[in-house]
Amino acid sequence: MSEPVTPLAGASFDGLVRVTETGPQGMIVLRCPEDATDAREAATAVTGTKDPALRRAAVSNGTGILWMSPDERLILVPRAKSASTVAEMQAKLAGQHALVADVSDARAIFRLEGDPLMVREVLAKLAPVDMRPDHFEVGEVRRTRLAQVAAAFWLEQEGTADLICFRSVARYVYDLLCTAAVNGSAVKHF
Amino acid sequence: MLTIQCPHCGVQAEETELSPGGEAHLSRFGPGSEDQDFEAYLFFRENPKGVHFERWRHVHGCGKWFHAARCTVTMEVFGTYSAQTTEPPKALRDKISEKRPGWTWRDIA
Protein backbone atom coordinates (compact mmCIF):
# COMPACT_ATOMS: atom_id res chain seq x y z
CA MET A 1 0.00 0.00 0.00
CA SER A 2 1.16 3.54 -0.68
CA GLU A 3 2.28 5.71 2.20
CA PRO A 4 -0.41 7.89 3.79
CA VAL A 5 0.16 11.56 2.99
CA THR A 6 -1.38 14.31 5.09
CA PRO A 7 -2.73 17.34 3.21
CA LEU A 8 -0.27 19.87 4.68
CA ALA A 9 2.71 17.59 5.31
CA GLY A 10 2.68 18.28 9.05
CA ALA A 11 2.73 22.07 8.82
CA SER A 12 3.02 23.97 12.09
CA PHE A 13 2.77 27.54 13.29
CA ASP A 14 3.81 29.25 16.50
CA GLY A 15 1.76 32.16 17.71
CA LEU A 16 -0.59 32.66 20.63
CA VAL A 17 -0.80 28.89 20.54
CA ARG A 18 1.06 26.28 18.57
CA VAL A 19 -0.97 25.00 15.61
CA THR A 20 0.21 21.68 14.18
CA GLU A 21 -1.18 19.44 11.54
CA THR A 22 -0.94 16.08 13.25
CA GLY A 23 -1.69 12.80 11.65
CA PRO A 24 -1.78 10.68 9.69
CA GLN A 25 -4.58 9.51 11.92
CA GLY A 26 -6.79 6.52 11.31
CA MET A 27 -10.44 7.62 11.38
CA ILE A 28 -13.36 5.27 10.97
CA VAL A 29 -16.96 6.35 10.83
CA LEU A 30 -19.54 4.09 12.42
CA ARG A 31 -23.21 4.70 11.79
CA CYS A 32 -25.86 2.49 13.32
CA PRO A 33 -29.20 2.80 15.09
CA GLU A 34 -28.99 4.40 18.52
CA ASP A 35 -29.84 1.15 20.26
CA ALA A 36 -27.47 -1.09 18.27
CA THR A 37 -25.43 -2.57 21.10
CA ASP A 38 -23.51 -4.96 18.83
CA ALA A 39 -22.14 -2.09 16.78
CA ARG A 40 -21.21 -0.13 19.91
CA GLU A 41 -19.42 -3.16 21.29
CA ALA A 42 -17.58 -3.70 18.02
CA ALA A 43 -16.26 -0.16 18.38
CA THR A 44 -15.26 -0.43 22.01
CA ALA A 45 -13.58 -3.78 21.32
CA VAL A 46 -11.16 -2.28 18.80
CA THR A 47 -10.34 0.84 20.82
CA GLY A 48 -10.40 -0.56 24.32
CA THR A 49 -12.26 2.53 25.51
CA LYS A 50 -15.87 2.87 26.58
CA ASP A 51 -18.66 4.12 24.32
CA PRO A 52 -18.72 7.88 24.95
CA ALA A 53 -21.77 9.52 26.46
CA LEU A 54 -23.63 12.33 24.72
CA ARG A 55 -21.15 14.77 23.10
CA ARG A 56 -18.17 13.15 24.78
CA ALA A 57 -14.79 11.92 23.65
CA ALA A 58 -13.32 8.71 24.98
CA VAL A 59 -9.83 9.06 23.56
CA SER A 60 -6.36 8.37 24.87
CA ASN A 61 -3.15 8.62 22.85
CA GLY A 62 -4.89 8.93 19.51
CA THR A 63 -7.09 5.88 20.02
CA GLY A 64 -10.70 6.10 21.04
CA ILE A 65 -14.24 7.02 20.13
CA LEU A 66 -15.87 10.39 19.53
CA TRP A 67 -19.61 10.98 19.86
CA MET A 68 -20.62 12.67 16.59
CA SER A 69 -24.42 12.36 16.62
CA PRO A 70 -26.96 10.00 18.22
CA ASP A 71 -26.31 7.42 15.49
CA GLU A 72 -22.73 8.23 14.57
CA ARG A 73 -19.35 7.64 16.17
CA LEU A 74 -15.89 8.45 14.90
CA ILE A 75 -13.36 5.84 15.85
CA LEU A 76 -9.74 6.91 16.12
CA VAL A 77 -7.04 4.30 15.63
CA PRO A 78 -3.40 4.43 14.48
CA ARG A 79 -3.32 5.09 10.73
CA ALA A 80 -1.58 1.80 9.96
CA LYS A 81 -4.38 -0.12 11.64
CA SER A 82 -7.38 1.60 10.07
CA ALA A 83 -7.87 -0.79 7.14
CA SER A 84 -7.58 -3.91 9.26
CA THR A 85 -9.85 -2.42 11.93
CA VAL A 86 -12.52 -1.66 9.34
CA ALA A 87 -12.29 -5.22 8.01
CA GLU A 88 -12.53 -6.60 11.52
CA MET A 89 -15.57 -4.50 12.39
CA GLN A 90 -17.30 -5.19 9.09
CA ALA A 91 -16.87 -8.91 9.61
CA LYS A 92 -18.29 -8.61 13.11
CA LEU A 93 -21.28 -6.60 11.93
CA ALA A 94 -22.02 -8.54 8.76
CA GLY A 95 -25.74 -8.60 8.05
CA GLN A 96 -26.50 -5.86 10.54
CA HIS A 97 -27.80 -2.40 9.80
CA ALA A 98 -24.54 -0.59 10.38
CA LEU A 99 -22.00 1.30 8.30
CA VAL A 100 -18.28 1.12 8.93
CA ALA A 101 -16.13 3.22 6.61
CA ASP A 102 -12.50 4.28 6.61
CA VAL A 103 -12.43 8.07 6.30
CA SER A 104 -8.77 8.56 7.27
CA ASP A 105 -7.90 10.02 3.88
CA ALA A 106 -11.01 12.20 3.80
CA ARG A 107 -10.17 14.17 6.93
CA ALA A 108 -7.42 16.33 8.31
CA ILE A 109 -6.54 16.65 11.96
CA PHE A 110 -4.91 19.53 13.80
CA ARG A 111 -3.71 20.13 17.31
CA LEU A 112 -3.68 23.41 19.20
CA GLU A 113 -1.33 23.58 22.15
CA GLY A 114 -0.43 26.35 24.49
CA ASP A 115 -1.87 28.52 27.22
CA PRO A 116 -5.23 26.96 28.18
CA LEU A 117 -7.16 30.21 27.90
CA MET A 118 -5.49 31.10 24.59
CA VAL A 119 -6.43 27.73 23.09
CA ARG A 120 -10.02 28.46 24.07
CA GLU A 121 -9.77 31.96 22.68
CA VAL A 122 -8.41 30.89 19.28
CA LEU A 123 -11.31 28.46 18.89
CA ALA A 124 -13.82 31.01 20.16
CA LYS A 125 -12.72 33.45 17.47
CA LEU A 126 -13.72 31.00 14.76
CA ALA A 127 -16.63 28.93 16.07
CA PRO A 128 -20.03 29.94 17.52
CA VAL A 129 -19.33 27.99 20.69
CA ASP A 130 -19.34 29.14 24.28
CA MET A 131 -15.72 28.36 25.14
CA ARG A 132 -15.74 29.61 28.74
CA PRO A 133 -13.92 27.11 30.96
CA ASP A 134 -17.05 26.40 33.01
CA HIS A 135 -19.16 25.84 29.87
CA PHE A 136 -16.90 23.86 27.55
CA GLU A 137 -15.33 21.03 29.45
CA VAL A 138 -12.33 18.86 28.78
CA GLY A 139 -13.48 15.75 26.94
CA GLU A 140 -16.50 17.37 25.32
CA VAL A 141 -16.75 17.00 21.53
CA ARG A 142 -18.23 19.87 19.63
CA ARG A 143 -19.20 19.52 15.99
CA THR A 144 -19.58 22.99 14.69
CA ARG A 145 -18.60 25.50 12.09
CA LEU A 146 -15.14 27.03 11.80
CA ALA A 147 -15.74 30.27 9.91
CA GLN A 148 -17.31 28.81 6.75
CA VAL A 149 -16.66 25.09 7.03
CA ALA A 150 -17.66 22.20 9.25
CA ALA A 151 -15.25 21.02 11.92
CA ALA A 152 -15.22 19.08 15.16
CA PHE A 153 -12.95 19.65 18.11
CA TRP A 154 -12.44 18.53 21.66
CA LEU A 155 -10.10 19.42 24.48
CA GLU A 156 -7.82 16.52 25.23
CA GLN A 157 -6.81 18.40 28.35
CA GLU A 158 -6.65 22.06 29.30
CA GLY A 159 -4.28 23.67 26.80
CA THR A 160 -4.54 20.93 24.18
CA ALA A 161 -7.31 20.87 21.60
CA ASP A 162 -7.65 18.44 18.71
CA LEU A 163 -9.62 19.48 15.66
CA ILE A 164 -10.86 17.48 12.69
CA CYS A 165 -12.08 18.88 9.38
CA PHE A 166 -12.56 17.67 5.83
CA ARG A 167 -9.32 17.15 3.96
CA SER A 168 -10.49 19.33 1.09
CA VAL A 169 -10.58 22.37 3.40
CA ALA A 170 -7.43 21.54 5.39
CA ARG A 171 -5.47 24.49 4.02
CA TYR A 172 -8.37 26.86 4.69
CA VAL A 173 -8.74 25.64 8.26
CA TYR A 174 -5.01 25.76 8.91
CA ASP A 175 -4.84 29.33 7.61
CA LEU A 176 -7.83 30.27 9.76
CA LEU A 177 -6.24 28.81 12.87
CA CYS A 178 -2.94 30.53 12.16
CA THR A 179 -4.65 33.87 11.59
CA ALA A 180 -6.65 33.51 14.78
CA ALA A 181 -3.46 32.63 16.62
CA VAL A 182 -1.22 35.30 15.14
CA ASN A 183 0.92 37.10 17.72
CA GLY A 184 -0.55 40.39 18.90
CA SER A 185 -4.13 39.33 18.27
CA ALA A 186 -4.93 38.22 21.81
CA VAL A 187 -8.29 39.48 23.00
CA LYS A 188 -7.86 38.01 26.49
CA HIS A 189 -11.59 37.54 26.76
CA PHE A 190 -11.48 34.57 29.11
CA MET B 1 -29.75 36.33 16.59
CA LEU B 2 -31.48 33.08 17.41
CA THR B 3 -30.08 30.42 19.66
CA ILE B 4 -32.00 27.18 19.52
CA GLN B 5 -31.30 24.09 21.57
CA CYS B 6 -30.94 20.98 19.44
CA PRO B 7 -33.06 18.24 21.03
CA HIS B 8 -30.74 15.53 19.68
CA CYS B 9 -27.34 16.63 20.95
CA GLY B 10 -28.40 19.23 23.50
CA VAL B 11 -26.18 21.94 22.03
CA GLN B 12 -27.38 25.50 22.45
CA ALA B 13 -26.82 26.15 18.76
CA GLU B 14 -26.43 29.59 17.36
CA GLU B 15 -28.39 30.40 14.22
CA THR B 16 -25.45 30.12 11.80
CA GLU B 17 -24.84 26.56 12.92
CA LEU B 18 -28.36 25.64 11.85
CA SER B 19 -30.16 25.43 8.56
CA PRO B 20 -33.78 26.56 8.34
CA GLY B 21 -36.22 24.02 6.91
CA GLY B 22 -39.29 26.17 6.53
CA GLU B 23 -42.72 25.72 7.99
CA ALA B 24 -43.44 22.72 10.19
CA HIS B 25 -46.21 20.14 9.99
CA LEU B 26 -47.04 20.35 6.29
CA SER B 27 -49.20 17.60 4.83
CA ARG B 28 -48.03 16.51 1.44
CA PHE B 29 -50.46 16.46 -1.47
CA GLY B 30 -48.82 14.71 -4.40
CA PRO B 31 -49.90 13.24 -7.73
CA GLY B 32 -53.58 12.47 -7.89
CA SER B 33 -54.61 15.07 -5.33
CA GLU B 34 -56.95 17.98 -5.99
CA ASP B 35 -55.34 20.97 -7.67
CA GLN B 36 -56.38 23.23 -4.79
CA ASP B 37 -54.74 20.98 -2.21
CA PHE B 38 -51.62 20.65 -4.32
CA GLU B 39 -51.37 24.42 -4.74
CA ALA B 40 -51.84 24.97 -1.02
CA TYR B 41 -49.20 22.37 -0.22
CA LEU B 42 -46.71 23.96 -2.59
CA PHE B 43 -47.27 27.63 -2.04
CA PHE B 44 -49.46 28.58 0.91
CA ARG B 45 -47.38 29.28 3.96
CA GLU B 46 -48.12 30.84 7.30
CA ASN B 47 -46.51 34.20 7.96
CA PRO B 48 -47.61 34.82 11.51
CA LYS B 49 -46.88 37.70 13.82
CA GLY B 50 -46.27 35.73 16.97
CA VAL B 51 -46.17 31.99 17.58
CA HIS B 52 -44.67 30.00 14.73
CA PHE B 53 -43.59 26.39 14.20
CA GLU B 54 -40.62 25.63 12.02
CA ARG B 55 -38.31 22.85 10.93
CA TRP B 56 -34.60 23.27 11.53
CA ARG B 57 -31.58 21.15 10.86
CA HIS B 58 -28.47 21.14 13.02
CA VAL B 59 -26.43 21.14 9.88
CA HIS B 60 -23.01 22.02 11.30
CA GLY B 61 -23.54 19.86 14.35
CA CYS B 62 -25.15 16.47 14.69
CA GLY B 63 -26.91 16.86 11.33
CA LYS B 64 -30.36 16.00 12.67
CA TRP B 65 -33.70 17.57 11.82
CA PHE B 66 -35.97 18.84 14.56
CA HIS B 67 -38.94 21.13 15.14
CA ALA B 68 -38.84 24.45 16.93
CA ALA B 69 -41.56 26.74 18.24
CA ARG B 70 -40.72 30.41 18.46
CA CYS B 71 -42.20 33.88 18.49
CA THR B 72 -41.55 35.85 15.31
CA VAL B 73 -41.93 39.15 17.16
CA THR B 74 -39.61 38.68 20.13
CA MET B 75 -37.51 35.81 18.74
CA GLU B 76 -38.26 33.92 21.94
CA VAL B 77 -37.81 30.19 21.42
CA PHE B 78 -40.52 28.30 23.30
CA GLY B 79 -39.01 24.92 22.75
CA THR B 80 -37.77 22.26 20.38
CA TYR B 81 -39.08 18.76 19.78
CA SER B 82 -38.65 15.67 17.66
CA ALA B 83 -38.98 15.82 13.88
CA GLN B 84 -40.88 12.52 13.93
CA THR B 85 -44.24 13.99 14.85
CA THR B 86 -47.19 15.61 13.09
CA GLU B 87 -48.07 18.13 15.78
CA PRO B 88 -46.37 19.94 18.67
CA PRO B 89 -46.37 18.05 21.97
CA LYS B 90 -49.07 18.98 24.48
CA ALA B 91 -46.56 20.15 27.10
CA LEU B 92 -45.08 22.63 24.66
CA ARG B 93 -48.51 23.92 23.58
CA ASP B 94 -49.42 24.46 27.23
CA LYS B 95 -46.18 26.31 27.81
CA ILE B 96 -46.90 28.60 24.86
CA SER B 97 -50.46 29.18 26.11
CA GLU B 98 -49.03 30.39 29.40
CA LYS B 99 -46.86 32.94 27.66
CA ARG B 100 -49.13 33.85 24.74
CA PRO B 101 -52.73 33.26 25.87
CA GLY B 102 -55.14 32.73 22.99
CA TRP B 103 -52.51 31.92 20.35
CA THR B 104 -53.44 29.93 17.29
CA TRP B 105 -51.41 28.58 14.40
CA ARG B 106 -53.18 26.96 11.46
CA ASP B 107 -55.62 24.61 13.21
CA ILE B 108 -53.43 24.21 16.31
CA ALA B 109 -54.14 26.08 19.52
Three-state SS string over chain A comes to CCCCCCCCCCCEEECCEEEEECCCEEEEEEECCCCCHHHHHHHHHHHCCCCCCCCEEEEECCEEEEEEECCEEEEEEEHHHHHHHHHHHHHHCCCCCCEEEECHHHEEEEEEEECHHHHHHHHHHHCCCCCCCCCCCCCEEEEEEECCEEEEEEEEECCEEEEEEEHHHHHHHHHHHHHHCCCCCCCCCC
> Residue A61 belongs to what domain range?
12-180
Q: Quick: pLDDT tens for A115-130.
A: 999 999 999 999 999 9
Model confidence at A85: pLDDT above 80 = yes
Rounded to 10 degrees, the C-alpha dihedral B79/B85/B87/B89 comes to -50
Which residue of A70, A128, A130 is in closest CB contact with B62? A70
Q: How far is A23 from chain B (nearest CA, A)?
A: 23
Looking up residue B94, the CATH number of its domain turns out to be 3.30.2270.10
Contacts with A70 from chain B: Cβ below 8 Å: 8-9, 62, 64
How many domains are contained in chain B? 1
Report whether A13 contacts A110 (CB < 8 A).
no
Evaluate whether residue B1 is within a structural domain: no
Instruction: Quote the number of domains for chain A.
Output: 1
- Output the CA torsion A159→A165→A170→A173 (10° steps): -60
Minimal C-alpha gap between A132 and chain B (Å) = 14
Question: What range defines the domain where residue B71 resides?
Answer: 11-21+49-109
- Is residue B42, in this structure, part of any structural domain at all? no
Question: CB-CB: which of B12, B14, B62 is closest to A143?
Answer: B62
The per-residue pLDDT for B108 is 87
In a domain, A72, yes or no: yes
Confidence of residue A61 (pLDDT cuts 50, 70, 90): confident
Instruction: Write the CATH number for A143.
Output: 3.30.1360.120
Q: Is residue A134 part of a domain?
A: yes
Name residues whose C-beta falls within 8 Å of residue A86's C-beta, 6 or more positions apart in sequence.
Answer: A28, A100, A101, A102
**Does pLDDT of A1 surpass 70?**
no
Contact A70 B60 (CB under 8 A): no
Return the pLDDT at A142.
96
Quick check: is A187 in a domain?
A: no
Q: Which residues of B touch A144 (CB under 8 A)?
A: 17, 60-61
Task: Place A23 in a pLDDT band, splitting at 50, 70 and 90.
Answer: confident
> Which chain B residue lies closest to A153 (C-alpha atoms)?
B61
Position B72 in a domain: yes
- Tell me, what's the pLDDT at A169? 97
Does residue B88 fall inside a structural domain? Answer: yes
pLDDT at residue A186 above 90? yes
Q: Report the gap between the CA of A76 and the closest CA in chain B (Å).
A: 18
Q: Does residue A13 surpass a pLDDT of 70?
A: yes
Let me know if residue B107 belongs to a domain: yes
* Beta-bridge partner residues of B55: B67
B59 within domain boundaries: yes
Distance from CA of residue A147 to its chain's centroid?
A: 17
